[in-house]
């Protein structure tokens, strides 16, 4: 198996060269309709192909949401495989948004699906859920290291329901809440890595001041919430503080609603990337 340069190094370079932006590939039924497409496999394929054609050669990261492909069964998975292949061939890094989490051999099987280099769904990174315990992610951590891929671990998500788990305080000497514990684990994974570790956290851009958390994990912070959810590029320094340079803001509907026009998709994505770059530079 050919081993890639570590994901953190590849991501740092892509962010520096193309701008720190991740665009979701989220074929909601409502978006398909807005694009004049049917909510069927033909519409899914056309939507995905258009997003990849418009953006894969320009943005640092594309993030397909696996669920919107899975709902079409095996034919939808085939479209996802093709989208991942074509996006990576055009130079974008692909973060598979599948939020997998399980234990033992089942977690290992999820890891092999998305992180084994010869898998048809191999992605540069995978979103994972640690809420069966951080240690349950070990098969994914190990395979990501082996293959040069990365992980984004759910830590402080932007959905209101997340707080009942992520803000719960653990009964240990550190007195940290669960979200902070996940960040601490990731800092350990990334310790001593340059220019940036490959094990990141998902931290919502809509959460406001996060200065009570140590976000300097020496790894990327995938930050959903820019655009339709209300956060702006100008909010990033205030939310992420000294870790802002490692933030990968995710925009989905804010870009995708401008399709299916290729030029419009490119212009809006490039506009977001420049706004984010300027906000980070001014921090």
What the block records as the tokens of 235 is 């909010």
Overall average pLDDT of the 45-74 stretch: 98
CATH code of 82's domain: 3.20.20.70
Q: What are 137-174's pLDDT values in tens digits?
A: 999 999 999 999 999 999 999 998 999 999 999 877 68
51 pLDDT higher than 60: yes
Residue 181 lies in a domain: no
In the block, residue with structure tokens 């310790």: 191
Residues tagged active-site: 99
Residue 186 lies in a domain: no
Q: What percent of the chain has pLDDT over 70?
A: 99
Residue 224 lies in a domain: yes
Helix (H, G, I), strand (E, B) or coil at 29: helix
Domain that holds residue 23: 7-175+191-282
Residue 265: pLDDT band by 50, 70, 90 thresholds? very high
1 pLDDT higher than 60: no
The pLDDT value recorded for residue 255 is: 96
Residue 2 lies in a domain: no
CB-based contact 65:25 (threshold 8 Å): yes
At residue 67, what are phi and psi to the nearest 5 degrees? -60, -35
Overall average pLDDT of the 229-249 stretch: 95
Residue 1 lies in a domain: no
2 pLDDT higher than 70: no
Residue 183 lies in a domain: no
From 9, 3, 23, select the one nearest 195 (Cα to Cα).
Answer: 9
What's CA 1's distance to the chain center, in Å? 24
The pLDDT value recorded for residue 170 is: 82
Overall average pLDDT of the 67-83 stretch: 98
Residue 185 lies in a domain: no
Count of domains observed in the chain: 1
In the block, residue with structure tokens 């977001």: 272
Specify the DSSP element, H or E, that contains 7.
helix 7-18
- Strand ranges (DSSP E) for 74-180? 93-100, 125-128, 150-156
Residue 152 lies in a domain: yes
**Average pLDDT taken over every residue of the chain:** 96
């Amino acid at each position: 198996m050919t081993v890639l340069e570590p994901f953190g190094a590849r991501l740092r370079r892509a962010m520096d060269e193309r701008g720190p932006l991740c665009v979701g590939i989220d074929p909601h039924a409502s978006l398909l309709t807005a694009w004049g497409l049917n909510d069927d496999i033909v519409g899914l394929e056309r939507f995905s192909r258009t997003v990849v054609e418009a953006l894969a050669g320009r943005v640092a990261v594309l993030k397909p949401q696996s669920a919107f492909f899975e709902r079409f069964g095996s034919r939808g998975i085939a479209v996802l495989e093709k989208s991942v292949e074509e996006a990576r061939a055009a130079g974008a890094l692909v973060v598979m948004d599948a939020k997998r989490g399980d234990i033992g051999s089942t977690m290992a099987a999820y890891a092999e699906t998305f992180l084994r280099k010869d898998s048809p769904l191999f992605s540069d990174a995978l979103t994972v859920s640690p809420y069966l315990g951080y240690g349950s992610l070990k098969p994914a951590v190990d395979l990501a290291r082996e293959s040069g891929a990365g992980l984004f671990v759910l830590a402080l998500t932007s959905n209101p329901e997340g707080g009942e788990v992520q803000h719960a305080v653990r009964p240990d000497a550190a007195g940290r809440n669960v979200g902070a514990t996940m960040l601490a684990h990731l800092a350990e994974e990334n310790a001593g890595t340059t220019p940036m570790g490959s094990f990141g956290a998902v931290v919502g851009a809509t959460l406001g001041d996060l200065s009570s958390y140590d976000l300097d994990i020496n790894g990327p912070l995938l930050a959903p919430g820019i655009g339709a959810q209300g956060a702006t590029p100008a909010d990033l320094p205030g939310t992420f503080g000294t870790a802002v340079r490692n933030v990968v803001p995710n925009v989905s509907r804010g870009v995708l609603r401008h399709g299916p026009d290729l030029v419009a998709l490119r212009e809006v994505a490039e506009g977001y990337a420049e706004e984010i770059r300027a906000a980070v530079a001014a921090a």
